[in-house]
Amino acid sequence: MTVVVGILNRRGAVLAADSAVTVNNAHGTKIYNSATKIFPLSAKSPVGVMIYNNAMFMTTPLDVIFELYRARRGDQKFDTLKEYADDFLDFLRCENYFADADGQKEYFEKEVSDFYRRVNDTVEEEWTKRYGEDADYDEKIVAEIMHGVLEGTRKDYAEDSECEELKDYPKRSMILYGKDIFDAIKEDLKGKDLPANLKTDIVNTFHKYLKSSTFHIWSGLAFVGFGEKDIYPSILSMYLGGVIEGRLRYAYLDDAETIGMRYSALIRPYAQRDVIDNMIWGIHPSVERTVLQLNRNAIESTREKILKELEKAGVKQSVIEKVTEMDLDEVKTVFGDSLEDYERNSFIDGILDAVESFNMSDVANMAESLVSLTYIQRHISSSEETVGGPIDVAVITKVGGFQWVKHKPWPPPVA
């Protein structure tokens, strides 16, 4: 895991990242503190990129890909940051995605296997919630639960935007491409005495997943810097998946956020962002989620008490039904919005006002401190130290371009 952060104001942008990388293998988990997660994207333009989550694209390390991009396209200039990101995607296409046909097929199989595992895990959780761990297996009930899980999952994917290069990917082509692995799923269902029509349900849902902007196997990229026509810096994030039959799975998370009239300063953490969010919003995300859930529970509990009192008082059934059917979502939303307004007025607005006035040295110190805070929290907690190692810091300005403030030495010093 990792933590990276971009901080922007009208003077420029700062990128900061830790050096921890988690490697999973047959023998367990190993954490190394030697990874680089910040890269200059261009040799001549003020643009950089941060990576998080998966440091590999297909079977090639992303740091190798960025080095090749700079060597082959690093002298190009574009008007906007989005064009730099688009050109990087075009570079992947022109380099055959750094993967042959076997590599693409392997990626597809990983996606199917991961998807099927997630479905089974959700079904098992639902079964345990309903009947407990020791209940006798009932294939009819399991099939019913699985159908429900798949239906709900398809609805979630339907609300997503679609991957640009997979939105017209025919289901028939996908079925032919993944015949072996889908047949293996059918055999697995047969071994569990589950109906064969579940395979069709699984295939249909997986096809929806592939076309959606939900990613289970992905790398996060955050492009930061200036286009040729920009006065102020921007930040633009995307999920980068893999390649299936020559189709690239990627999704921009949103439009580029640009310093200007709307934003005078921005703080954008990625990956393990909970400590930074706690710092700038004044509340830990898990505490905020708990508060919101407790509020929802309290509202529902209050309604139940009101209904009981109405019944005791002999109120007409039509009135009781109206109270029962009353939509309380608006009340819950008002509470959530009010909490966010309080956090913004009490904490983040003041921090952003300070960042707006900072020179780049102050911004660099702040970015390094935010990453360091995450490291300290992980170090003193009982969880794995998935954030650590030297902190890399880079500054990007319109005239000065990409400059390292702190960077791990390479080659490393001899012990």
The percentage of the chain sitting over the pLDDT mark of 90, rounded to a whole number, equals: 64
Residue 413 predicted with pLDDT over 80: no
Instruction: Report which of residues 243 and 308 the model is more confident about.
Output: 243
Confidence band (pLDDT; 50, 70, 90) for 379? confident
Taking residues 283-298, what's their average pLDDT? Answer: 91
Taking residues 159-180, what's their average pLDDT? Answer: 91
Residue 414 predicted with pLDDT over 60: no
H helix runs in 256-380, sequence order: 274-281, 285-312, 317-325, 329-343, 349-357, 360-380
Q: pLDDT per residue over 316-375, tens digit each?
A: 888 888 878 888 788 888 888 999 999 999 999 999 999 999 999 999 999 999 999 999
**Choice among 70-84, 85-99, 305-319, 355-369 with the minimum mean pLDDT:** 305-319
The answer to whether 2 touches 272, Cβ cutoff 8 Å, is yes
In the chain, what is the straight-line distance between the N-terminal and C-terminal CA atoms, in Å?
26
**At which residue do the structure tokens 């239906």 appear?**
151
Beta-carbon-side half-sphere exposure of residue 43 (alpha carbons within 13 Å): 10
**120 in helix, strand or coil?**
helix
Confidence band (pLDDT; 50, 70, 90) for 387? confident
38: exposed, middle or buried (C-beta count within 10 Å: 0-12, 13-18, 19+)? Answer: buried
Instruction: Report pLDDT for 26.
Output: 59
Confidence band (pLDDT; 50, 70, 90) for 52? very high
The answer to whether 385 touches 33, Cβ cutoff 8 Å, is no
Round to whole Å and give the CA distance between 246 and 62: 19
The percentage of the chain sitting over the pLDDT mark of 70, rounded to a whole number, equals: 97
Instruction: Report pLDDT for 315.
Output: 82
Instruction: Report pLDDT for 329.
Output: 82
Q: pLDDT per residue over 214-257, tens digit each?
A: 999 899 999 999 999 999 999 999 999 999 999 999 999 988 89
Round to whole Å and give the CA distance between 397 and 231: 10
Taking residues 36-41, what's their average pLDDT? Answer: 94
Q: Sign of torsion, CA 49 50 56 58?
A: negative
What count of residues does the chain have?
A: 415
Round to whole Å and give the CA distance between 32 and 408: 14
Share in percent of the chain as helix, strand, coil (round to 5) = 50, 20, 30
Q: pLDDT per residue over 102-158, tens digit each?
A: 999 999 999 999 999 999 999 999 988 888 877 787 888 988 999 999 999 999 988
- The enclosing H or E element of 67 equals helix 62-73
Q: For 28, left (φ over 0), alpha (ψ -120 to 50), or beta?
A: left
Closest CA to 397 of 9, 85, 39: 9
Say which DSSP state 164 is in. T
Q: pLDDT per residue over 171-216, tens digit each?
A: 999 999 999 999 999 999 988 888 888 999 999 999 999 999 999 9
Query: Is the bond preceding residue 411 a cis peptide, omega within 30 degrees?
Result: yes
Q: How far is CA 351 from the centre of its chain?
A: 25
Instruction: Report pLDDT for 25.
Output: 60
Instruction: Report which of residues 384 and 76 the model is more confident about.
Output: 76
Instruction: Report pLDDT for 415.
Output: 47
**Token digits of residue 193:** 């005495």
Which pairing describes strands 257-258 and 234-244: parallel, antiparallel, or unpaired? antiparallel
Instruction: Report pLDDT for 318.
Output: 83
The answer to whether 396 touches 41, Cβ cutoff 8 Å, is no
Instruction: Report pLDDT for 32.
Output: 77
Instruction: Report pLDDT for 314.
Output: 84
Round to whole Å and give the CA distance between 3 and 11: 24
Q: Report the mean per-residue pLDDT for the chain.
A: 90
What is this structure's pTM?
A: 0.88
102: exposed, middle or buried (C-beta count within 10 Å: 0-12, 13-18, 19+)? Answer: exposed
Instruction: Report pLDDT for 138.
Output: 83
Say which DSSP state 36 is in. -
Instruction: Report pLDDT for 411.
Output: 59
Confidence band (pLDDT; 50, 70, 90) for 410? low
